[in-house]
Amino acid sequence: MKRIFAALTALTLVFALASCAENGGSEAAGRQRTATVFAMDTFVTVTAYCGDETLEKVGRLVTELDGRLSRTKADSDIGRLNASGTDGAAVSGETAALLKEALAYCAESGGVFDITVAPLTDLWDVAGKAAGGSPTLPSSDEIADAMLRVGYEYLTVEGSEARFSCDGMSCDLGGIAKGYAADKAVELLKADGVSSALLQVGSSIYVLGEKPDGSAYTVGVRDPEGAASEYIGTLPLKDKYITSSGDYERYFELDGARYCHIFDAFTGLPVDNDLRSVTVVTDSGARGDYLSTALFCLGLENAVRMCREENISALFITKDRRVYTVGADFEAFTLTSGDYTYEN
């Protein structure tokens, strides 16, 4: 009897200790790690199976890019360019290349996407009003005046010098900087031998590889009418960038109308069409950011046509809660929300 008692006591002790060790003990090496950096007006999160060193490098990279590309930092390349009037400013080779890429997107979209809408952005100050400022509308004169200072054609980049040919202009790479940062971060992760990672820049995501157990990473497409944690459907992805543009990110409301942070460069007004949001899946982050913005500006019909012509994978959510998808990357999309109708 004594033996049974001793054995039971020992067993109990072992169980108790094992449970405690499991709770308080250190994690096994090579576990999933996550790092977050606050930069580019948002947060950048990397979840990867890698060393802390790689995560730190990604953090530094994003902070550096932010320091070079931020419009709100006076000493950044873009800050100096915007302050230079028509004198032009010398920028880093990387910034020059990105400006050229951005100008190519502007031209490709026929001006629907325009990196020089900053005067309109400032005039409307949607971000400020969304954050609690008093919602007021600018007068049509003010809008017309700002429009005079908008036009990507008046920005030229030669070598490493960028120059406006019209006074009072400003450029903002915010529209593609996040995607670009994602591209660079993914390059860095790959160079460090990371084969599986989830990189989030704000609400845009680059999916690198598969989960270590061989299953695909699954991304939810945000419900434009719900909280940030709610999604309308799911999509498995591998080695792709996914990003959305919509009228729910930053906006203010006045007299029942909603004014969002994406501008129609032709009217000078916030975009207001049949779309709530556009989500695109691309290989390149910068291109993904450009496409989601441009497609959102176009409205459903024109956007779907553009996707078909140019072989773009996109998902559209309309104001009347219909969901449309185009392209191969959305074939595996599953609608999970009962509030929306899937049209195909």
Q: Name residues contacting other proteins, limited to 229-248 (CB under 8 A).
A: 229-231, 234, 242-244, 246
**Is the distance from CB of 232 to CB of 246 less than 8 angstroms?**
no
**Judged by CB under 8 A, does residue 55 bind other proteins?**
no
> Cβ atoms within 10 A of the Cβ of 140, count?
10
Nearer to other proteins, 3 or 193 (CB): 3
Helix (H, G, I), strand (E, B) or coil at 240: strand
**Judged by CB under 8 A, does residue 290 bind other proteins?**
no
Helix (H, G, I), strand (E, B) or coil at 342: strand
Stretch that binds other proteins, among 30-38, 101-109, 126-134, 156-164 (CB under 8 A): 30-38
In whole angstroms, give the CA distance from residue 167 to residue 87.
9
CA 323 to chain centre: 20
Nearer to other proteins, 27 or 141 (CB): 27
Residues pairing with 300 in the sheet: none
Nearer to other proteins, 120 or 219 (CB): 219
Binds other proteins by CB under 8 A, chosen from 48, 81, 198, 294: 198
Query: Of the candidates 176, 146, 148, which has an alpha carbon nearest to the alpha carbon of residue 78?
Result: 176
Nearer to other proteins, 68 or 261 (CB): 261
**Judged by CB under 8 A, does residue 156 bind other proteins?**
no
**Judged by CB under 8 A, does residue 200 bind other proteins?**
yes
Nearer to other proteins, 177 or 280 (CB): 280
Size of the site for other proteins (CB under 8 A): 49
CB-based burial, 175-187: b 16+ in 10 Å, e otherwise: bbbbbbbbbbbbe
- Up-side HSE of residue 342: CA atoms within 13 Å toward CB? 14
Q: How far is the CB of 297 from other proteins (least distance, A)?
A: 17
**Is the distance from CB of 205 to CB of 221 less than 8 angstroms?**
no
Q: How far is the CB of 279 from other proteins (least distance, A)?
A: 6
Query: Of the candidates 149, 145, 116, 124, which has an alpha carbon nearest to the alpha carbon of residue 272?
Result: 124
Give strand ranges (E) for the chain.
33-39, 42-48, 89-90, 155-158, 161-164, 197-201, 204-208, 217-222, 231-237, 240-246, 251-254, 257-260, 275-282, 313-318, 322-326, 334-335, 341-343
Nearer to other proteins, 252 or 333 (CB): 333
**Judged by CB under 8 A, does residue 8 bind other proteins?**
yes
Stretch that binds other proteins, among 2-10, 113-121, 296-304, 318-326 (CB under 8 A): 2-10
Query: Of the candidates 161, 316, 299, which has an alpha carbon nearest to the alpha carbon of residue 232?
Result: 316
**Is the distance from CB of 114 to CB of 123 less than 8 angstroms?**
no
Q: How far is the CB of 225 from other proteins (least distance, A)?
A: 11
**Judged by CB under 8 A, does residue 328 bind other proteins?**
no
Binds other proteins by CB under 8 A, chosen from 48, 150, 157, 205: 205
Q: Name residues contacting other proteins, limited to 213-232 (CB under 8 A).
A: 217-224, 228-231
Q: How far is the CB of 200 from other proteins (least distance, A)?
A: 6
**Judged by CB under 8 A, does residue 32 bind other proteins?**
yes
The pair of structure tokens assigned to 317 is 């959510």
Q: Name residues contacting other proteins, limited to 33-52 (CB under 8 A).
A: 33-36, 43, 45, 47
Stretch that binds other proteins, among 27-35, 174-182, 258-266, 320-328 (CB under 8 A): 27-35
Footprint of other proteins (CB under 8 A): 1-2, 4-5, 8-9, 12-13, 15-16, 19-20, 23-24, 27, 32-36, 43, 45, 47, 198, 200, 203-205, 211, 217-224, 228-231, 234, 242-244, 246, 277, 279, 336
